[in-house]
Structure 1
């Protein structure tokens, strides 16, 4: 039988050869969390053996960590000391902060909260020095558990809530679930019952989905505590009685808390015998672990008073002795924690918060200066743009005024000529110009046709091209283009646009109704295909905008009317 067992163990070890460190660690916690301690211990031993064989200092330290879980306090502490020894020369952010946090957890597990707090504070110190946000978070969370233990549940809830809703790759799924459980307990103790109930339901759904029987029992236990707060004593008794056996197999400390709440439910039902029976069972459990919690004073006081009424001196004396022993331990821990927590944790945190606020104010001040600078620059830019805009407006106004004045002068000359019945004929030629390859009589004919074209405003016809105009005056495009280039000193397109814009300038001054037309209609009247083509031609020809020209006309005519 012994040989077969040894062979089976060797086979299991051989089977582990294929796994990486991360896989081995996952298997370890899977066994450990399900109370399969022999299997988890075997994994831990192989992990350490593998790391030592490979001379991997970090993994050797992790092997010591895994092994310490299954050892009693003195041996576990030696393994943690081994972690400190193997990592003392390792550079990085993980150690020694992690060593102190692991040691703090061991002290906490064994109800030495004074030593646990000191270890957590040291872990927090080194984590902050190395800017290791994850280790800082773990230290804060563990110290929050101590705050909850001494009744500072509101302060603890802030930490648990922060890391529950701001995981940021700090907590894994298991730790996330622990934050939720811890926050529920705090909410129940500070009577935030609605918030607690929401989280209980959320946890129950998660536990059922993952088929985690222990979590299902644990959330039923929290649900029972919630019912107790609502004074639903019978429901509380039913739930706690149902889940107690599952809880005690995994976590005796939680089982003791469950017994305490069960006793309170019986007290609510005025069933003294059941209260005594429950509290007696709780005391029996405590003697196996010697793990205390603050509510024990209440339990032993109840039992002392009960047996005093029964005149049972022996049991009365026994529970007085238990009370004094427990009270001394609680008093020592409470006195130390209440003194040292503010000194070593709360005050440094407040000072750090003060520094953070000062830095934030400096940043805000710098930001305000930067904002003022940007706003000033923006204002100066806007002022510059406004100045340029005003300058452009004044330039457009000046050009428009000159154009209007030019139109009015031409009108005066035309009016005087008509009054004297003088026909002012524009000379066909300002100077003698000859065009090679075009007979002079042809040139003169084209010029007369162009004069007729201008006088009768044929240029307003839409769709005029060089080809269509040449055809209408019985010549060819080459001759017409050459005559316009030579005698008008411009291209056909420019010649046509100049005629139309000159007409527009004159008519806009004279015809109020024409000015009131929509831009598209004005463009159509002038022979343009669309408003964009007209406004572009107007701007190119006059160096001002159509709107500025019309605005100046209206301004001048309004002033004349006044």
Structure 2
């Protein structure tokens, strides 16, 4: 065989290998065609998705890698796995340096926190991050999608009027886009965005008792989803709303029909939040029909959902009141206690969500709004230079002012905390921290010396044995136990302790519980209500007010800072 023949043969082999490699390495578009029409959570897509991701990694194509991770989120059913891929999506999006991808990645993670975990605090944080990057893009669809999800959070908080403003923006945008869009996939997305916003508006109007508007929008939603298999979930939400409205109008048979029709679809889509609400209303309908057994079964399904997911809407939490009443009537104290404890846990979770989110929505979203305004002005810098500079200065000044106020508050808290810890270290017992007696400014009643000595011993015993922790204690009650009259005891306390009896008693209680919080880490786990009851103060608000008055720091701040101190984080 000649040298030229060998070379030709060798080049032929190499060409064959290269061609075969080209054939086994499909393009991104070819890979996505294999799974893009599959349903959400369909694991059959995952082998192709993994191939797509690996190809993007090999080619350092971070834009495609972000898309691949987003697909992995969509087709994985396990919520924790979704969350893992959501973080990977964010990392790849940042490497792509494209604001649209970064914003969409944060939004995707927020939706997982909202829909799969019902963690409103975490979802809110991700939405705000998404908004921060979305305002730096021209992607109006993405911006309106974030607006919609922020509206859902506002609606949950009870800010229905503000939420309606956001949903109106979403409806107007999606409706206009759907009418003019020729691409079937895009038109479907716009229609779904329109229907979801419509559903949320029905909820808001219903909670604002604007029943005519709620009914009108509900009719639109039911008409738009009738015989539309692609919008079966959206129709289920409208059927759910119809059932609730019929219930409110005392039309229980109609309510039962619509709620039962909506429930299977909503449960199939694993929307446990609305499933719990439906079970709550079904339970009430059965009770009104006199079928207590079925009603209690529905309420227990609500409890089962809460035990699995640790979340309920306030509406569904009312199931526990019915269960408590049911078992109270039957004198079943064990069941009554269980459901009472469950209701307290549910209410505590709702309270935490509301106190956190109200502050976060105001601070983070309003500041994000300033960033958007600043960015829009920067884009027109050649036309409105002076205005841009002015707005930037004002925005920066506001941000610096907010930062300064926050730091001042934190510094003040640390100082107050340090002063309180120092005081607690210098006294051994609560009564030692009481104010020193001052000369009376009114006419003084002279007490017999023998009585003074007797009262000193009794007060000392009263303090040493922490009898001041008894709830409902008054000067009259204590005087009766000391076998003296209230006037003498009140005069003695004022002369010896320098304050009136009520202040003396309150100071003892506050100093006692403060020492416990400082010395026993277990006390840091109790609620403010529990702490107030432990030291004999019936009102939570009175306890919180006097704690701050005596110690110079709010009880919640002290608990937070002491917990950090114990961990070594302060």
Q: Deviations over 1:370-392 (max 9, x none)?
A: xxxxxxxxxxxxxxxxxxxxxxx
- Contact kept in structure 2, 1:24 and 1:43, CA below 8 Å: yes
2:229 maps to 211
Relative distance call for 1:165 and 1:233 in structure 2 (3 A) is same
Q: C-alpha separation between the residues in 2 aligned to 1:268 and 1:154?
A: 32
Quote the offset at 1:319 in angstroms: 0.9
- The normalised TM-score by structure 2 is 0.53
Q: Deviations over 1:168-204 (max 9, x none)?
A: 5496222222112222222222223233223323322
Quote the offset at 1:55 in angstroms: 4.6
Q: 1:294 aligns with which of 296, 314, 319?
A: 314
1:64 maps to 69
1:265 maps to 285
Relative distance call for 1:147 and 1:57 in structure 2 (3 A) is same
Quote the offset at 1:132 in angstroms: 4.0
Q: Aligned pairs, how many?
A: 342
Quote the offset at 1:261 in angstroms: 2.3
Q: 2:201 aligns with which of 170, 183, 204?
A: 183
Relative distance call for 1:306 and 1:351 in structure 2 (3 A) is farther
Quote the offset at 1:280 in angstroms: 1.0
Quote the offset at 1:239 in angstroms: 2.1
1:231 maps to 250
- Contact kept in structure 1, 2:62 and 2:95, CA below 8 Å: no
Q: C-alpha separation between the residues in 2 aligned to 1:206 and 1:302?
A: 36
Q: C-alpha separation between the residues in 1 aligned to 2:297 and 2:249?
A: 23
1:333 maps to 353
Quote the offset at 1:268 in angstroms: 4.9
151-160 or 295-304, which moves further after superposition?
295-304
Quote the offset at 1:207 in angstroms: 2.2
Q: C-alpha separation between the residues in 1 aligned to 2:99 and 2:257?
A: 49
- Contact kept in structure 1, 2:110 and 2:122, CA below 8 Å: yes
133-142 or 146-155, which moves further after superposition?
133-142
- Contact kept in structure 1, 2:203 and 2:241, CA below 8 Å: yes
Relative distance call for 1:182 and 1:47 in structure 2 (3 A) is farther
Q: C-alpha separation between the residues in 2 aligned to 1:45 and 1:231?
A: 53
1:456 maps to none
Q: Deviations over 1:121-147 (max 9, x none)?
A: 111112223454333222221111111
Q: Deviations over 1:320-363 (max 9, x none)?
A: 22122222222111110122222222576599899999xxxx99
Look at both structures and tell me which one has the larger radius of gyration over its CA atoms. 1
Give 3-state SS (helix, strand or coil) of 1:174's partner. helix
Aligned alpha-carbon RMSD (Å):
3.5
344-353 or 91-100, which moves further after superposition?
344-353
329-338 or 264-273, which moves further after superposition?
264-273
1:221 maps to 240
Give 3-state SS (helix, strand or coil) of 2:37's partner. helix
1:89 partnered with 2:107: no
Relative distance call for 1:207 and 1:294 in structure 2 (3 A) is same
1:433 maps to none
2:424 maps to none
- The normalised TM-score by structure 1 is 0.54
User: Aligned runs of 1:460-479 on 2, under 5 Å?
Assistant: none
2:37 maps to 27
Q: C-alpha separation between the residues in 1 aligned to 2:212 and 2:44?
A: 41
1:199 maps to 217
1:552 maps to none
Relative distance call for 1:142 and 1:252 in structure 2 (3 A) is closer
Specify every segment of 5 or more residues in structure 2 that has no aligned partner in the other structure, as ranges: 1-23, 178-185, 378-382, 388-570
Relative distance call for 1:265 and 1:339 in structure 2 (3 A) is farther
1:150 maps to 157
Q: C-alpha separation between the residues in 2 aligned to 1:302 and 1:346?
A: 40
Q: C-alpha separation between the residues in 2 aligned to 1:55 and 1:350?
A: 35
Q: C-alpha separation between the residues in 1 aligned to 2:55 and 2:223?
A: 39
Q: C-alpha separation between the residues in 2 aligned to 1:75 and 1:244?
A: 27
1:520 maps to none
Quote the offset at 1:18 in angstroms: 9.6
